[in-house]
Chain A
């Protein structure tokens, strides 16, 4: 005898899949659209998170600095479109510069001639050995400039060596927009926003009044000047490329083309070979070095073609007062969070 069985009903899953449907539709509609790799996305998120937290720490906010990013990592970054080119530039600079390929052979023992790699026969140094002295004042100046460049570059990573985009590297309109968004988000989270609005606005205004120049760009300019002063720029560039000293190479090009350091690095990664060759040849880089540079750039996986925001390009209208603009942003953020919770 057959027994009737009540089967559970299949549930429609359109809602659950809505996000995936939209992603697939976009993919099918634009199969040639650029997509970031997981690595690029992870790096970009990390950089923005550190930037937001660092900038929030400079303002007298009611919420802890990390709270702003905690909200934005779920709800989205308000100035995302402005930040994206700069963040991607830093991502690509980082991905390229870590690709130094040390040779397989053991390094030469330059400091203690005669020592071999057997620990027993290496003389036991008991003090810091005297280092070779630069053979001219120009080379001494270049040595100091390069040290300053390395120090400035080292500040662009967090304590774990992860890349950072420093506030001083942001063009003024972007820095302004981000500071306002952070302050506005703080007000949106606060219980009594109107009481604090003017104080926060004043802090943002004060922060923006101080003209900021990026340490790495200053150091890059000084380094390029010191390289040129030796009268031997072509040979020094050739040497830097051979050593995969992308810090020195990028700094020199950035100074020569008066571009921000990170944007210069990203341009190299994103440009085609002809454009890079022309760019490097114009500053006197030898053909051999250009070849090595192109080979190294070709090893960077998933190279993008960037649309880079030029420094100083107007990004937000600036006619309204700071307090008014921040109030508008806070209202928009509150509206967004209301919509999300509804």
Chain B
């Protein structure tokens, strides 16, 4: 489990009064409940400390649920009615047998918390060993040991494929299999969607699937089934999630990234003529396809970041960072791109530390953007300077290039969303600087620009210094 922030609230007595599903699940696994005392000892101690001191606290946290140990970064903001909890970077040591709660890595589509969801499990011969709803009694009588196909009528997708059967063929996880099931004798069948994680034993043998079923949409009648009402616009991949739901973003991300990566890899194979010589213009077309694919992949990264940082309550961690060190690392990561254009980059010496407070990976992301832009928009054979300075309260690192520079009008809009200053090439999404500045501000820092046409640009990241 990782990605967006998990939110919660406690009241002045330390009772958990609101929680996102993941936090609530952890609370319940620890024997607690919503409205009861926070049962995660470390988190409860931090929350009590934060409320007593009446100041924000951000710390790493270790907890355990039934499935695994969990590490996360928790930020606690006290107020008069208690405190808000924001948990980020939630990392769960993956259970060796994949979690039955759905596995983001495999793109399983059914959320355990969806109303009317059923847990299911079958053996390697697709005989059911479990069919259990999250609420209420078992939905179908006499399922024990019967084949999945006896209980559920599998529906092919638009290509005529059955996700379950394809997954069975090569022992992998699947999602988006639509099935019909008759719950009561004589009643209309209801449509559900099914996902499954392949159960692989220690010798590599396939021993079945475990997953979730969730209501999809009513069948034939045109009316939603009473207990299984969902939007009729439900899509097999994206379900009925609204655009604003973070899961929608994650699913789009998962759905696009794989195909795009394959397109890029195939196009690069063709343009590189690894399988033998082809006409030069065809190789160029393939290179264009690969380039466009990489651009789209970058856009997906940016959109994922954008959705993350625009969520209410987004905060970055506050930890000691050396801006000069981060800048050197960023330059190291971009060295190939700079070399392609014979650009030299002058970085701060290793004996010139520039201490500040921020989240390391976010600072790195910001500097990768600033230095990457400088490389992209600098002429071949030019020079980029990176300089640091500190006044005791603020540390600043400046990236200066010898590019075309920006007019005052351009400087006024350069940090706006999707702003590309009139460029129409496929070099960027217009989101990079917007995201970079949002990140800097989330760390109580900022980014400023100083430039003039024909004189290059100086972008400065300033960050608070630990007192």
Contacts and interface: CB of A to CB of B under 8 A. Distances in A.
Nearest to A146: B123
A128 interface: yes
Tell me what chain B mostly uses at the interface: helix, strand, loop, or mixed.
loop
Given A38-B41, A46-B29, A122 B201 contact: no
**Number of contact residues on B: which range applies?**
35 or more
B205 interface: yes
B169 A125 contact: yes
Interface string B186-225: 0000000000001011111111001000000000000000
Contact of B97 (A70, A98, A128): A98
Contacts of A161: 66-67, 99-101, 119, 210
Tell me what chain A mostly uses at the interface: helix, strand, loop, or mixed.
loop
A123 B201 contact: no
Nearest to B121: A154
Given A42-B65, A98-B95, A160 B101 contact: yes
A27 B450 CA distance: 61
B332 interface: no
A42 B168 contact: no
A39 B69 contact: yes
Interface stretch (B72-80, B130-138, B286-294, B394-402): B130-138
Interface string B95-133: 111011100000000001000001101011111011011
A99 B160 CA distance: 38
B33 interface: yes
Given A42-B66, A122-B166, A129-B168, A159 B133 contact: yes
A73 B36 contact: yes
Contacts of B97: 98, 100, 102
Contacts of A202: none
B28 interface: yes
Given A49-B31, A101-B96, A107 B149 contact: no
B64 interface: yes
Contact of A112 (B41, B64, B169): B169
A107 B166 contact: no
Contacts, number: 167
A14 interface: no
B144 interface: yes
B29 A103 contact: no
A136 to B, nearest CB: 17
Contacts of B200: 102-103, 107
Interface residues of A, number: 57
B129 A109 contact: no
A261 B321 CA distance: 53
A108 B144 CA distance: 28
Contact of B165 (A37, A126, A150): A126
B134 A160 contact: yes
Interface of A: 37-39, 41-43, 45-46, 48-49, 70, 73-74, 94, 98-103, 105-112, 115, 117, 119, 122-129, 131, 147-148, 150-151, 153-155, 158-163, 242-245
Interface of B: 25, 28-33, 36-37, 39, 41, 62-67, 69, 95-97, 99-101, 112, 118-119, 121, 123-127, 129-130, 132-135, 144-145, 147-149, 156, 160-162, 165-166, 168-171, 198, 200-207, 210
Given A151-B144, A154-B121, 4 more contacts: A126-B156, A128-B149, A128-B165, A158-B132
